[in-house]
Amino acid sequence: MSSLDPTLAQQKLMSSWNGRAIDDRGILRTLNEGGSRPPLLWIFNSAEEPVRFAKALGDDQPLIFSRSSHLLVPPDDDPTEVRNILTEYLFGELKKQFPGSHFDMGTSCQGSGIVMKLSNRLREADISVGHLCIVNCSLPQIDTNLPALLVYGDEDEGHNPFQRDSGAAETRAKMVFSKYRKLVLKTRHGQYYLPENAKEIIAQFDLFRSQPPPAMLQWRRLALLLLGGTKAWRGGY
């Protein structure tokens, strides 16, 4: 492969990261792998983030993770090509290692482009994706039609698109997600994976994932109406 391949630079950047390497290059790793729950798939920016997050999750929750394109693209360059290459690499490894699996996915900061595209690619390969947790990210340009928990900090308004233009942000969120909920933490930039924040994100994401999708809620309402009508009809005799 070309020396310009960003997966080679990613390999060097992740060489000292914790967690067992799932792929040959160590770009895809896992912590808490002995847990019994379905694994979460996450994209982080720095080496300490997955360690903190895995600890907050607890031993029973496996975490599969990789790294964003942070530091791989100069500030003034378009990161799309690099992110696409990283996405395709992760897609190939996940398809090979976890065929037919189910993932809930999350990311923070610069990982959103990878997570959005990867969630679509996985579903093309019959690997289901349930919910997204998007922490401190701009609203994506890629439509996933998945439910998403959007997490921001009350002291990090510059990274919250709903603070800049709430109308445009609401419109965009409705376009790219099947449903969404906003969570604002009492925190600032760079502190989302501190223990107290990580635990709150996990608790709220668990709650969000436990709620049935809108179509299921509509079906339940219809069933209750039909059941009520049936009881009323029967009560007339």
CATH number at residue 201: 3.40.50.1820
d(C-alpha 131, C-alpha 33), whole Å = 20
**1 lies in some domain:** no
Strands (E), the chain: 20-21, 29-31, 40-44, 63-67, 102-108, 128-135, 146-153, 177-185
* pLDDT tens-digit series, residues 205-235: 999 999 876 554 454 555 555 666 544 333 3
Model-level pTM? Answer: 0.88
* pLDDT tens-digit series, residues 86-106: 999 999 999 999 999 999 999
Axis crossing angle, helix 80-97 with helix 6-13, rounded to the nearest 10:
70
Question: Region 28-55: what's the mean pLDDT?
Answer: 97
pLDDT at position 36, please? 96
**153 lies in some domain:** yes
pLDDT at position 53, please? 98
* pLDDT tens-digit series, residues 113-137: 999 999 999 999 999 999 999 999 9
**129 lies in some domain:** yes
**219 lies in some domain:** yes
Smallest CA-to-CA distance from 39 within 22, 16, 26, 14 is with 22
Which residues form the domain of 23? Answer: 6-234
DSSP state of 97: H
Domains: count for the chain: 1
pLDDT at position 225, please? 57
* pLDDT tens-digit series, residues 46-60: 999 999 999 999 999
